[in-house]
Structure 1
Protein backbone atom coordinates (compact mmCIF):
# COMPACT_ATOMS: atom_id res chain seq x y z
CA UNK A 1 0.00 0.00 0.00
CA UNK A 2 1.42 3.38 -1.00
CA UNK A 3 1.55 6.32 1.33
CA UNK A 4 -1.29 8.52 0.11
CA UNK A 5 -0.47 12.19 0.47
CA UNK A 6 -2.78 14.53 2.41
CA UNK A 7 -2.66 17.05 -0.44
CA UNK A 8 -2.67 15.44 -3.87
CA UNK A 9 0.13 17.02 -5.94
CA UNK A 10 -2.03 16.85 -9.07
CA UNK A 11 -4.61 14.59 -10.70
CA UNK A 12 -2.41 12.34 -12.86
CA UNK A 13 -1.54 8.77 -11.89
CA UNK A 14 1.22 6.61 -13.35
CA UNK A 15 0.22 2.98 -13.83
CA UNK A 16 2.83 0.29 -14.49
CA UNK A 17 3.22 -3.51 -14.69
CA UNK A 18 0.44 -3.67 -17.29
CA UNK A 19 0.05 -6.74 -19.48
CA UNK A 20 1.95 -5.84 -22.68
CA UNK A 21 0.02 -8.30 -24.84
CA UNK A 22 -3.23 -6.30 -24.69
CA UNK A 23 -4.07 -3.96 -27.58
CA UNK A 24 -3.83 -0.22 -27.02
CA UNK A 25 -7.51 0.39 -27.76
CA UNK A 26 -8.75 -2.38 -25.47
CA UNK A 27 -6.42 -1.37 -22.65
CA UNK A 28 -7.49 2.29 -22.84
CA UNK A 29 -11.13 1.25 -22.65
CA UNK A 30 -10.61 -1.08 -19.68
CA UNK A 31 -8.49 1.39 -17.71
CA UNK A 32 -11.09 4.09 -18.32
CA UNK A 33 -13.82 1.87 -16.91
CA UNK A 34 -11.83 0.63 -13.90
CA UNK A 35 -10.49 4.02 -12.84
CA UNK A 36 -13.79 5.68 -13.71
CA UNK A 37 -15.38 4.02 -10.69
CA UNK A 38 -13.51 6.42 -8.40
CA UNK A 39 -14.00 9.73 -10.21
CA UNK A 40 -14.34 11.37 -13.60
CA UNK A 41 -11.48 10.28 -15.85
CA UNK A 42 -10.60 12.96 -18.41
CA UNK A 43 -7.62 11.32 -20.08
CA UNK A 44 -6.00 7.89 -20.42
CA UNK A 45 -2.64 7.66 -22.17
CA UNK A 46 -1.39 4.21 -23.10
CA UNK A 47 2.02 4.05 -24.75
CA UNK A 48 3.13 1.14 -26.94
CA UNK A 49 6.68 2.15 -27.82
CA UNK A 50 9.43 -0.21 -26.62
CA UNK A 51 10.49 2.16 -23.84
CA UNK A 52 6.94 2.69 -22.56
CA UNK A 53 5.32 -0.72 -22.94
CA UNK A 54 3.28 -1.85 -19.95
CA UNK A 55 2.76 1.72 -18.74
CA UNK A 56 -0.07 4.26 -18.79
CA UNK A 57 -1.10 7.63 -17.39
CA UNK A 58 -4.60 8.28 -16.01
CA UNK A 59 -5.82 11.83 -15.34
CA UNK A 60 -8.86 12.65 -13.21
CA UNK A 61 -10.87 15.86 -13.26
CA UNK A 62 -10.60 16.04 -9.47
CA UNK A 63 -7.24 15.38 -7.77
CA UNK A 64 -9.01 13.79 -4.78
CA UNK A 65 -10.13 10.95 -7.01
CA UNK A 66 -6.49 9.86 -7.19
CA UNK A 67 -6.55 9.02 -3.48
CA UNK A 68 -9.52 6.72 -3.92
CA UNK A 69 -8.00 4.99 -6.93
CA UNK A 70 -4.66 4.52 -5.15
CA UNK A 71 -6.25 2.87 -2.14
CA UNK A 72 -8.74 0.73 -4.07
CA UNK A 73 -6.79 -0.33 -7.16
CA UNK A 74 -3.23 -0.76 -5.91
CA UNK A 75 -2.12 -4.29 -6.81
CA UNK A 76 -5.40 -5.18 -8.48
CA UNK A 77 -5.01 -7.79 -11.25
CA UNK A 78 -5.76 -6.34 -14.68
CA UNK A 79 -5.48 -8.87 -17.49
CA UNK A 80 -3.88 -11.30 -15.01
CA UNK A 81 -1.13 -8.89 -13.83
CA UNK A 82 -1.24 -6.80 -10.63
CA UNK A 83 -0.95 -3.13 -11.55
CA UNK A 84 1.23 -0.68 -9.63
CA UNK A 85 0.03 2.91 -9.16
CA UNK A 86 1.78 6.07 -7.98
CA UNK A 87 1.40 9.78 -8.64
CA UNK A 88 3.04 10.69 -11.94
CA UNK A 89 6.22 12.78 -11.62
CA UNK A 90 4.55 15.50 -13.69
CA UNK A 91 0.95 16.48 -14.29
CA UNK A 92 -0.37 15.51 -17.73
CA UNK A 93 -1.09 18.08 -20.42
CA UNK A 94 -4.80 17.55 -19.80
CA UNK A 95 -4.30 18.23 -16.09
CA UNK A 96 -2.50 21.52 -16.83
CA UNK A 97 -5.26 22.45 -19.26
CA UNK A 98 -8.00 21.81 -16.66
CA UNK A 99 -6.12 23.87 -14.06
CA UNK A 100 -5.60 26.71 -16.54
CA UNK A 101 -1.81 26.43 -16.21
CA UNK A 102 -1.45 27.55 -19.82
CA UNK A 103 2.02 29.05 -19.42
CA UNK A 104 3.46 25.73 -18.24
CA UNK A 105 1.50 23.85 -20.91
CA UNK A 106 2.84 26.06 -23.71
CA UNK A 107 6.35 25.80 -22.32
CA UNK A 108 6.12 22.01 -22.33
CA UNK A 109 4.83 21.95 -25.92
CA UNK A 110 7.65 24.24 -27.06
CA UNK A 111 10.23 21.94 -25.47
CA UNK A 112 8.68 18.93 -27.24
CA UNK A 113 8.66 20.71 -30.58
CA UNK A 114 12.27 21.80 -30.15
CA UNK A 115 13.35 18.24 -29.30
CA UNK A 116 11.47 16.86 -32.30
CA UNK A 117 13.07 19.43 -34.61
CA UNK A 118 16.54 18.54 -33.31
CA UNK A 119 15.91 14.82 -33.78
CA UNK A 120 14.56 15.41 -37.29
CA UNK A 121 17.61 17.51 -38.18
CA UNK A 122 20.02 14.83 -36.94
CA UNK A 123 18.11 12.10 -38.78
CA UNK A 124 18.14 14.17 -41.99
CA UNK A 125 21.89 14.76 -41.75
CA UNK A 126 22.56 11.07 -41.18
CA UNK A 127 20.31 10.17 -44.09
CA UNK A 128 22.08 12.65 -46.38
CA UNK A 129 25.48 11.22 -45.49
CA UNK A 130 24.23 7.70 -46.13
CA UNK A 131 22.81 8.67 -49.51
CA UNK A 132 26.14 10.14 -50.55
CA UNK A 133 27.85 6.78 -50.03
CA UNK A 134 25.16 4.38 -51.24
CA UNK A 135 21.88 5.29 -52.89
CA UNK A 136 18.82 3.17 -52.13
CA UNK A 137 17.35 1.58 -55.29
CA UNK A 138 14.57 3.77 -56.66
CA UNK A 139 10.98 2.58 -56.86
CA UNK A 140 9.90 2.35 -60.50
CA UNK A 141 6.78 4.19 -61.65
CA UNK A 142 5.01 0.91 -62.38
CA UNK A 143 5.78 -0.41 -58.88
CA UNK A 144 4.59 2.82 -57.30
CA UNK A 145 1.35 2.72 -59.28
CA UNK A 146 0.77 -0.91 -58.30
CA UNK A 147 1.22 -0.32 -54.59
CA UNK A 148 -0.97 2.80 -54.58
CA UNK A 149 -3.84 0.87 -56.17
CA UNK A 150 -4.07 -1.61 -53.29
CA UNK A 151 -7.44 -1.63 -51.44
CA UNK A 152 -7.67 -0.20 -47.88
CA UNK A 153 -6.36 -2.43 -45.12
CA UNK A 154 -5.74 -2.06 -41.38
CA UNK A 155 -2.12 -3.06 -41.99
CA UNK A 156 0.31 -0.66 -43.67
CA UNK A 157 3.50 -1.65 -45.47
CA UNK A 158 6.62 0.50 -45.14
CA UNK A 159 9.25 -0.34 -47.79
CA UNK A 160 12.73 0.75 -48.87
CA UNK A 161 13.87 1.59 -45.35
CA UNK A 162 17.35 3.02 -44.92
CA UNK A 163 19.87 1.42 -42.56
CA UNK A 164 19.28 4.19 -40.01
CA UNK A 165 15.55 3.50 -39.86
CA UNK A 166 15.83 -0.29 -39.61
CA UNK A 167 15.07 -0.29 -35.88
CA UNK A 168 11.72 -1.21 -34.36
CA UNK A 169 12.00 1.48 -31.68
CA UNK A 170 12.57 4.22 -34.30
CA UNK A 171 9.56 3.14 -36.34
CA UNK A 172 7.35 2.67 -33.28
CA UNK A 173 8.12 6.20 -32.07
CA UNK A 174 7.08 7.57 -35.46
CA UNK A 175 3.71 5.78 -35.45
CA UNK A 176 2.96 5.77 -31.73
CA UNK A 177 1.00 9.02 -31.77
CA UNK A 178 -1.54 7.79 -34.30
CA UNK A 179 -4.89 6.46 -33.09
CA UNK A 180 -5.25 2.70 -33.19
CA UNK A 181 -1.54 1.97 -33.68
CA UNK A 182 -0.80 -1.54 -32.44
CA UNK A 183 2.67 -2.75 -33.33
CA UNK A 184 5.53 -2.89 -35.83
CA UNK A 185 6.64 -6.10 -37.52
CA UNK A 186 10.08 -5.37 -38.90
CA UNK A 187 11.74 -7.59 -41.53
CA UNK A 188 15.28 -6.27 -41.63
CA UNK A 189 16.75 -8.35 -44.43
CA UNK A 190 13.99 -7.09 -46.77
CA UNK A 191 14.21 -3.51 -45.47
CA UNK A 192 10.49 -3.31 -44.80
CA UNK A 193 8.00 -3.29 -41.93
CA UNK A 194 4.33 -4.03 -41.44
CA UNK A 195 2.47 -1.47 -39.31
CA UNK A 196 -0.61 -2.90 -37.59
CA UNK A 197 -3.64 -0.80 -36.60
CA UNK A 198 -6.87 -1.74 -34.82
CA UNK A 199 -9.09 -0.46 -37.61
CA UNK A 200 -8.83 0.11 -41.35
CA UNK A 201 -10.02 3.71 -40.96
CA UNK A 202 -7.21 4.43 -38.47
CA UNK A 203 -4.60 3.04 -40.87
CA UNK A 204 -6.07 5.20 -43.64
CA UNK A 205 -5.87 8.35 -41.52
CA UNK A 206 -2.24 7.60 -40.65
CA UNK A 207 -1.42 7.04 -44.30
CA UNK A 208 -2.81 10.50 -45.08
CA UNK A 209 -1.07 12.34 -42.25
CA UNK A 210 2.38 10.82 -41.74
CA UNK A 211 5.49 12.02 -43.57
CA UNK A 212 7.10 8.81 -44.85
CA UNK A 213 10.24 10.66 -45.96
CA UNK A 214 11.54 10.47 -42.38
CA UNK A 215 12.29 6.80 -43.13
CA UNK A 216 14.36 7.66 -46.20
CA UNK A 217 14.07 9.50 -49.50
CA UNK A 218 12.92 6.33 -51.27
CA UNK A 219 10.69 5.05 -48.48
CA UNK A 220 7.23 3.95 -49.62
CA UNK A 221 4.24 3.67 -47.29
CA UNK A 222 1.09 1.98 -48.61
CA UNK A 223 -1.60 -0.45 -47.59
CA UNK A 224 -0.30 -4.01 -47.25
CA UNK A 225 -1.69 -6.68 -49.53
CA UNK A 226 -4.66 -8.56 -48.05
Structure 2
Protein backbone atom coordinates (compact mmCIF):
# COMPACT_ATOMS: atom_id res chain seq x y z
CA UNK A 1 0.00 0.00 0.00
CA UNK A 2 1.34 3.42 -0.99
CA UNK A 3 1.44 6.03 1.77
CA UNK A 4 -0.96 8.93 1.39
CA UNK A 5 1.28 11.40 3.22
CA UNK A 6 5.00 11.99 3.56
CA UNK A 7 6.86 10.56 6.57
CA UNK A 8 6.78 12.76 9.65
CA UNK A 9 7.02 12.53 13.44
CA UNK A 10 3.28 11.90 13.90
CA UNK A 11 1.47 8.61 13.24
CA UNK A 12 -2.27 8.25 12.74
CA UNK A 13 -3.56 4.99 14.22
CA UNK A 14 -7.05 3.63 13.65
CA UNK A 15 -9.09 0.43 13.91
CA UNK A 16 -8.52 0.46 17.68
CA UNK A 17 -10.91 -1.49 19.90
CA UNK A 18 -13.40 1.17 21.02
CA UNK A 19 -14.17 -0.63 24.27
CA UNK A 20 -10.72 0.21 25.68
CA UNK A 21 -10.84 3.04 28.22
CA UNK A 22 -8.96 6.18 27.24
CA UNK A 23 -6.42 6.08 30.07
CA UNK A 24 -5.78 2.37 29.51
CA UNK A 25 -5.29 2.98 25.78
CA UNK A 26 -2.73 5.72 26.38
CA UNK A 27 -0.84 3.56 28.87
CA UNK A 28 -0.78 0.50 26.61
CA UNK A 29 0.10 2.50 23.50
CA UNK A 30 2.93 4.26 25.34
CA UNK A 31 4.46 0.88 26.20
CA UNK A 32 3.86 -0.50 22.69
CA UNK A 33 5.16 2.43 20.66
CA UNK A 34 8.01 3.33 23.04
CA UNK A 35 9.78 0.16 21.94
CA UNK A 36 10.66 2.06 18.76
CA UNK A 37 11.70 5.39 20.28
CA UNK A 38 10.74 8.16 22.66
CA UNK A 39 7.04 9.03 22.48
CA UNK A 40 6.27 12.71 23.09
CA UNK A 41 2.50 12.46 23.12
CA UNK A 42 -0.45 10.18 22.50
CA UNK A 43 -3.50 12.17 21.47
CA UNK A 44 -6.82 10.38 21.86
CA UNK A 45 -10.27 11.77 22.63
CA UNK A 46 -13.57 10.50 24.00
CA UNK A 47 -15.57 12.23 21.27
CA UNK A 48 -17.62 9.85 19.13
CA UNK A 49 -15.82 10.86 15.91
CA UNK A 50 -12.42 10.11 17.47
CA UNK A 51 -13.24 6.71 18.90
CA UNK A 52 -11.13 3.89 17.58
CA UNK A 53 -8.33 6.21 16.49
CA UNK A 54 -5.52 8.33 17.91
CA UNK A 55 -2.28 10.13 17.08
CA UNK A 56 1.16 9.10 18.33
CA UNK A 57 3.94 11.71 18.27
CA UNK A 58 7.59 10.61 18.30
CA UNK A 59 10.66 12.65 19.14
CA UNK A 60 12.53 11.52 16.01
CA UNK A 61 11.53 10.80 12.45
CA UNK A 62 13.45 7.51 12.45
CA UNK A 63 11.39 6.27 15.39
CA UNK A 64 8.12 7.13 13.67
CA UNK A 65 9.17 5.36 10.47
CA UNK A 66 10.28 2.23 12.32
CA UNK A 67 7.12 2.15 14.44
CA UNK A 68 4.95 2.39 11.35
CA UNK A 69 6.80 -0.44 9.65
CA UNK A 70 6.62 -2.72 12.68
CA UNK A 71 3.15 -1.92 14.03
CA UNK A 72 1.03 -1.50 10.91
CA UNK A 73 -1.33 -4.54 10.93
CA UNK A 74 -0.12 -5.43 14.45
CA UNK A 75 -2.95 -7.27 16.25
CA UNK A 76 -3.94 -5.21 19.29
CA UNK A 77 -6.83 -6.51 21.40
CA UNK A 78 -7.76 -8.89 18.59
CA UNK A 79 -7.90 -6.12 15.96
CA UNK A 80 -5.16 -5.29 13.40
CA UNK A 81 -3.99 -1.71 13.79
CA UNK A 82 -3.94 0.57 10.75
CA UNK A 83 -0.87 2.80 11.22
CA UNK A 84 -0.16 5.59 8.73
CA UNK A 85 1.66 8.90 8.74
CA UNK A 86 -0.51 11.81 9.82
CA UNK A 87 -1.64 14.31 7.21
CA UNK A 88 0.11 17.20 8.97
CA UNK A 89 2.60 17.72 11.77
CA UNK A 90 1.18 17.96 15.27
CA UNK A 91 1.26 21.31 17.04
CA UNK A 92 3.71 19.77 19.50
CA UNK A 93 6.15 18.90 16.71
CA UNK A 94 5.81 22.36 15.19
CA UNK A 95 6.66 23.91 18.53
CA UNK A 96 9.58 21.58 19.24
CA UNK A 97 11.29 21.33 15.86
CA UNK A 98 10.03 24.02 13.47
CA UNK A 99 9.79 27.79 13.54
CA UNK A 100 6.90 28.12 15.97
CA UNK A 101 4.29 30.75 15.19
CA UNK A 102 1.45 30.80 17.76
CA UNK A 103 -0.84 32.54 15.28
CA UNK A 104 -0.37 29.74 12.73
CA UNK A 105 -1.22 27.14 15.37
CA UNK A 106 -4.32 29.13 16.42
CA UNK A 107 -5.49 29.34 12.81
CA UNK A 108 -5.00 25.59 12.37
CA UNK A 109 -7.08 24.92 15.47
CA UNK A 110 -9.82 27.29 14.32
CA UNK A 111 -9.96 25.60 10.93
CA UNK A 112 -10.19 22.17 12.56
CA UNK A 113 -12.94 23.39 14.89
CA UNK A 114 -14.85 24.98 12.02
CA UNK A 115 -14.65 21.74 10.05
CA UNK A 116 -16.05 19.83 13.02
CA UNK A 117 -18.95 22.30 13.21
CA UNK A 118 -19.48 22.34 9.45
CA UNK A 119 -18.50 25.99 9.07
CA UNK A 120 -16.81 27.06 5.86
CA UNK A 121 -14.12 29.71 6.07
CA UNK A 122 -13.63 32.27 3.30
CA UNK A 123 -10.13 33.67 3.01
CA UNK A 124 -10.07 37.23 1.59
CA UNK A 125 -8.07 37.65 -1.60
CA UNK A 126 -4.87 39.64 -1.42
CA UNK A 127 -4.69 42.32 -4.07
CA UNK A 128 -1.59 43.51 -5.85
CA UNK A 129 -1.91 46.79 -3.98
CA UNK A 130 -1.97 44.93 -0.64
CA UNK A 131 1.21 43.06 -1.54
CA UNK A 132 2.93 46.24 -2.71
CA UNK A 133 1.98 47.98 0.50
CA UNK A 134 3.34 45.10 2.61
CA UNK A 135 6.61 45.13 0.68
CA UNK A 136 6.95 48.89 0.99
CA UNK A 137 6.24 48.78 4.72
CA UNK A 138 8.87 46.09 5.22
CA UNK A 139 11.38 48.20 3.29
CA UNK A 140 10.43 51.40 5.08
CA UNK A 141 9.27 53.09 1.87
CA UNK A 142 5.55 53.53 2.60
CA UNK A 143 3.81 56.42 0.80
CA UNK A 144 6.77 56.99 -1.51
CA UNK A 145 5.54 57.54 -5.11
CA UNK A 146 6.32 54.55 -7.29
CA UNK A 147 8.05 56.61 -9.98
CA UNK A 148 10.64 57.88 -7.46
CA UNK A 149 11.62 54.36 -6.35
CA UNK A 150 14.01 53.56 -9.16
CA UNK A 151 16.34 50.61 -8.94
CA UNK A 152 19.81 50.87 -10.44
CA UNK A 153 20.11 47.88 -12.73
CA UNK A 154 23.53 46.54 -13.67
CA UNK A 155 24.51 46.59 -17.30
CA UNK A 156 24.35 43.17 -18.89
CA UNK A 157 26.55 42.14 -21.76
CA UNK A 158 24.30 40.45 -24.30
CA UNK A 159 25.91 37.66 -26.24
CA UNK A 160 24.79 37.17 -29.86
CA UNK A 161 22.42 34.24 -30.20
CA UNK A 162 23.50 31.64 -32.69
CA UNK A 163 21.33 28.74 -33.81
CA UNK A 164 23.62 26.36 -31.94
CA UNK A 165 23.31 28.36 -28.70
CA UNK A 166 19.52 28.44 -28.93
CA UNK A 167 19.31 24.70 -29.57
CA UNK A 168 21.63 23.97 -26.66
CA UNK A 169 19.59 26.15 -24.30
CA UNK A 170 16.36 24.51 -25.41
CA UNK A 171 17.90 21.12 -24.77
CA UNK A 172 19.07 22.16 -21.31
CA UNK A 173 15.66 23.58 -20.38
CA UNK A 174 13.75 20.45 -21.32
CA UNK A 175 12.60 18.52 -18.24
CA UNK A 176 14.06 15.09 -17.72
CA UNK A 177 11.78 12.35 -18.96
CA UNK A 178 10.07 10.50 -16.06
CA UNK A 179 11.71 7.20 -15.22
CA UNK A 180 12.17 4.85 -12.28
CA UNK A 181 15.39 6.49 -11.02
CA UNK A 182 15.42 9.55 -8.74
CA UNK A 183 18.21 12.02 -8.05
CA UNK A 184 18.12 13.49 -4.53
CA UNK A 185 19.95 16.72 -3.64
CA UNK A 186 20.49 18.99 -0.64
CA UNK A 187 20.87 16.15 1.84
CA UNK A 188 22.41 17.01 5.23
CA UNK A 189 25.40 15.02 6.43
CA UNK A 190 23.18 13.32 9.04
CA UNK A 191 21.14 11.68 6.26
CA UNK A 192 22.96 8.37 6.14
CA UNK A 193 21.92 5.44 3.96
CA UNK A 194 19.97 3.75 6.75
CA UNK A 195 17.77 6.82 7.20
CA UNK A 196 17.26 7.22 3.45
CA UNK A 197 16.33 3.54 3.15
CA UNK A 198 13.64 4.07 5.78
CA UNK A 199 12.28 7.25 4.20
CA UNK A 200 12.17 6.12 0.57
CA UNK A 201 11.43 2.50 1.47
CA UNK A 202 7.96 3.51 2.64
CA UNK A 203 6.76 3.62 -0.94
CA UNK A 204 5.69 0.74 -3.12
CA UNK A 205 8.24 -0.64 -5.55
CA UNK A 206 11.31 0.62 -3.68
CA UNK A 207 14.52 -1.19 -4.65
CA UNK A 208 17.53 0.64 -3.23
CA UNK A 209 19.29 3.88 -2.27
CA UNK A 210 22.81 4.52 -3.53
CA UNK A 211 24.89 7.15 -1.78
CA UNK A 212 28.02 8.82 -3.14
CA UNK A 213 31.35 8.50 -1.28
CA UNK A 214 32.76 11.87 -0.16
CA UNK A 215 29.56 13.68 -1.13
CA UNK A 216 26.82 13.36 1.49
CA UNK A 217 24.55 15.93 -0.20
CA UNK A 218 23.31 13.70 -3.04
CA UNK A 219 21.92 10.19 -3.48
CA UNK A 220 20.24 8.02 -6.09
CA UNK A 221 17.02 6.10 -5.47
CA UNK A 222 15.67 3.28 -7.61
CA UNK A 223 12.07 2.01 -7.84
CA UNK A 224 10.66 -0.81 -9.92
CA UNK A 225 8.75 1.50 -12.27
CA UNK A 226 8.12 5.12 -13.23
CA UNK A 227 4.74 5.30 -11.50
CA UNK A 228 6.13 4.39 -8.08
CA UNK A 229 9.13 6.70 -8.39
CA UNK A 230 6.78 9.55 -9.32
CA UNK A 231 4.59 8.92 -6.28
CA UNK A 232 7.61 8.97 -3.97
CA UNK A 233 9.00 12.12 -5.59
CA UNK A 234 5.73 14.02 -5.31
CA UNK A 235 5.16 13.12 -1.66
CA UNK A 236 8.76 13.68 -0.53
CA UNK A 237 9.54 16.80 -2.56
CA UNK A 238 10.80 19.44 -0.13
CA UNK A 239 10.82 16.94 2.73
CA UNK A 240 12.64 18.36 5.75
CA UNK A 241 15.64 16.43 7.08
CA UNK A 242 17.53 18.19 9.87
CA UNK A 243 16.23 21.59 8.69
CA UNK A 244 17.29 20.94 5.10
CA UNK A 245 14.59 20.63 2.42
CA UNK A 246 15.57 17.96 -0.07
CA UNK A 247 15.16 18.39 -3.83
CA UNK A 248 14.13 15.39 -5.93
CA UNK A 249 14.23 15.09 -9.71
CA UNK A 250 14.23 12.26 -12.21
CA UNK A 251 17.71 10.98 -12.97
CA UNK A 252 18.89 11.72 -16.49
CA UNK A 253 19.27 8.34 -18.15
The structure number with the bigger radius of gyration is 2
TM-score by length of structure 1 reads 0.46
With the length of structure 2 as denominator, give the TM-score of the two structures. Answer: 0.41
